[in-house]
Each structure stands twice: as structure tokens, then as C-alpha cells.
Structure 1
Amino acid sequence: MDVFQSYCYGTAGWAAIQSLPLIISPTMIVAMLSPEVREASELEVYFSRSLGVTLFVLGVLTMLLTGVVPLKASMSDINASEAVTTSTNDPKAPYALPTLVITMLYHASACFYCYALWTSLGVSAFMLGCIGSGALAAMGLWCVLFASSDGRISRKTGADKRTSGFPFKNQKAHSEIKKGL
């Protein structure tokens, strides 16, 4: 399993972990968040369950749109050697890169919001949310930077064409690559 698949499964798992308490027991969530102990209103229960279902659907859509879960008619159509990529011209997952960017921005904003609440309120649950969302945001940023494009490898030298020689040239690396070919 590569980092991209780990990110997709991690996003779906993190959304499911956050959605279950919101769906199952919204009264307990409201009681934990309010300064005085009281029953949750119908509006609070509605918004809590709606947010829980939305988070769960976000996790499922992430897995479907990125191509981690193959959408074939039968299991015999699935080739085990097919790799999931984030390439924009990949017919298996045409929405992989946009979904990756949107979920990464979601995790980054959730991390920032949890950190702001933790610094102002001091509740340790917000720090746990900040750590979880921050780790997924960092993993998503890594996937956007390094896992979303194919390398441009030169046939003559074997070096990556996107590298630059500015301000210093790496002659030793180029000579070792030529010797290896």
C-alpha cells in the first residue's frame, strides 16, 4: 500500500471516527460541550446527526473518487496489477487529484480550528483533533507535492529532467547515472 492509498483510507477512517459519536449520541456530545448540564434541543440533535452523516459520506466519497475502491462490474474485471495513481489522465480515477486537494484543505482547516480552540479553551480533546487532522493534512500535502505527477526520466542520462543545476551543477550524480547505464 502506498502513501496515497494510506491517505485515502486514513481520511475515511478519521471521518468515520468523528461521525460515529455525532450520529449515535448527540445528547452526550452537547452535554460535554455545554457549560451547564442540560438536555439537547431538537435542533442540536438534528445538526449533530446531519454533521455526522456528512462526515461519513465525505469519507466514502474520498475512497470512491480517488479510485482506491475499484468501481467495476464484477471482481473478475479487476486486474490485481493495476495501480492507483493521481495522474490527471488516468481513466480509473479522473477525480483523484481534485479530491486529494480538497480533502487536504479540509484537514488543514480542521487542524487550524482545533488548534485555535485548544489554545483558547485548553480542552485536550481539541489537541487530539489537531494532531489527527494535522497528520492527515501533512500526508495530503506530501501526496500533492510528490505523488501526483510522473517523473520525467531522461533516456540518455537516467536523471530526472525537472531538476535544476542552479546555482551549482551536480556533475558527480550525472556521471554515476551514466556509468550505471
Structure 2
Amino acid sequence: MDVYYAYSYAAAGWMILQSIPLLSSPTMIVTMLSPEVRESTTLEVYFSRSLGFAIIALGLLTVLLTGSIPLKSSFSDTSSHLEDPTAPYALPALVITAGYHALVSFYCYTMWNDTGNFGFGIPTIVGTMLAASGVWCVLFATSDGRISRKTGADKRTSGFPFKNVEADKKRAGKKGL
């Protein structure tokens, strides 16, 4: 679960880092995006700051919904599930944020190829790493593994396409007893 929590904090941190320029200096953002230097309009400032607040909200919701910060009404609640530390909305939040990072990194990659500006390369690299770790968490960190207490192996594995000769020998030995 450490990778799961690391992903949620890294995703939230990256989203908050992206929103800082949108909130602090929308005029600079508009100046960098427009071909001519001009003063930004109030509508552009509004959209820039609204997007910054929305990205911060998405980052904070990622941390809250994935269960990285436990939300309990009291400290004396003993009915918490110690075996499953994730929140009930953890998997949907994880899928949505991993999809978000994949889309943003794809967009930045296309802009990087189009313009050649390395300013699009950094979000491409970071977004791809976050999307890949989010997909990894969806595939491997969210399943309730059926780990054997005796062998430490996952019980859901099969022998296809290779046979487990040692397990077959042990199984045959137990049947003979």
C-alpha cells in the first residue's frame, strides 16, 4: 500500500504545482500563450484562476478519496478495517486520476512534438510517470491478494502455460498418505 499512498500524494502534489502559476499570475500565462504581448482580460483571469482552483480541488479529492488521509468521526472508533486501509472510493478515484494524467501527458507530448518547446516535455515525463504508476496501482496494488500462509505464494496463480512440477509432487505425496 505504500506505492498506492505515494501515488496519491505525488498526483496531488503535481496538480497543486501545476495550479500555482494559474492562480498567482494569470497575466503571465496569457502573455506566454498569445502571439502578441497584451494585457489579459477579466474573463481570461477568471478562467485561469477557476482552472487553478479546480486542479487543486481534484488533487485534494485524490488524497481524500483514496484513503491516504483517514476520515473518521472520532478517534475512539474501533470498527475500522485494519486489513483494508483503502477507502471505498479509492479505485474509482485512482482510475480517474490515472486517466487524467494519461490525457494531459498525451496532450503535452503532442504539443512538444508540434512546438519543440521543452516546457511541454517536463509535464509529458511527469504525467507519463504518474499515469504509469496509477495503472500499476490499479492492476497490482488494489487486489486483495490470496497469499498462502505456508508458502507465501499467491493462491490465484495457475500453471498455464508452464507446469509446476514441484507442486504436483507435493500434491501427489499428500494424496498417497
Judge same fold: TM > 0.5, yes or no.
yes
- Report the Cα distance in structure 2 between the residues aligned to 1:105 and 1:94, rounded to whole angstroms: 19
Equivalent residues in 2 for 1:66-145, closer than 5 Å: 66-75=66-75, 77=77, 82=82, 85-86=85-86, 93-145=87-139
Shift of 1:98: 0.6
The match for 2:4 is 4
Q: Kindly provide the CA deviation profile for residues 69-119 of structure 1, in whole angstroms up to 9, marking residues without a partner as x.
A: 11123456589x946644xxxxxx110001000100000011100000000
Partner of residue 89, structure 1: none
- Name the TM-score, length of structure 1 as normaliser: 0.83
Show the 5 A alignment for 1:57-68: 57-68=57-68
Q: In the alignment, is residue 160 of structure 1 matched against residue 176 of structure 2? A: no
Distance in 1 between the 2:15 and 2:74 partners?
28
The answer for the alignment partner of 1:148 in structure 2 is: 142
Query: In the aligned structure 2, how far is the partner of 1:10 from the partner of 1:2?
Result: 12
Partner AA of 1:37 in structure 2 = V
Q: Could you list the per-position Cα deviations for residues 108-147 of structure 1 after superposition, in whole angstroms to 9, with x for gaps in the alignment?
A: 0111000000000111111001111111101101100100
Partner Cα separation in structure 2 for residue 120 and residue 101 of structure 1:
29
Is the deviation greater in 65-74 or in 97-106? 65-74
The SS at the match of 1:124 is: coil
Partner of 1:18: 18
Query: For residues 135 and 48 of structure 1, what CA distance do their matches in structure 2 show?
Result: 26
Contact 1:68 1:84 in 2 (8 A): no
The TM-score, its normalising length taken from structure 2, stands at 0.85
C-alpha deviation, 1:168, in angstroms: 1.4
8 Å Cα contact 1:66-1:100 kept in structure 2: yes
Mark the CA change 1:78 to 1:139 in structure 2 (over 3 Å): closer, same or farther. Answer: farther
Higher mean alpha-carbon deviation, 156-165 vs 110-119, is at 156-165
Distance 1:71 1:161 in 2: 33
Rounded to whole Å, the distance in 2 between the matches of 1:76 and 1:155 is: 31
Native 8 Å contact 1:107 1:134 kept in 2: yes
Structure 1's unaligned 5+ residue stretches are: 87-92
Corresponding residue pairs, total? 171
- Give the percent of matched residue pairs that are identical in Structure 1 and Structure 2: 62
Deviates more, 1:28-37 or 1:148-157: 148-157
CA 84–27 in structure 1, closer or farther in 2 if over 3 Å, else same: farther
Q: Give ranges in structure 2 of 5+ residues lacking alignment.
A: 172-177
Pair member with larger Rg: 2
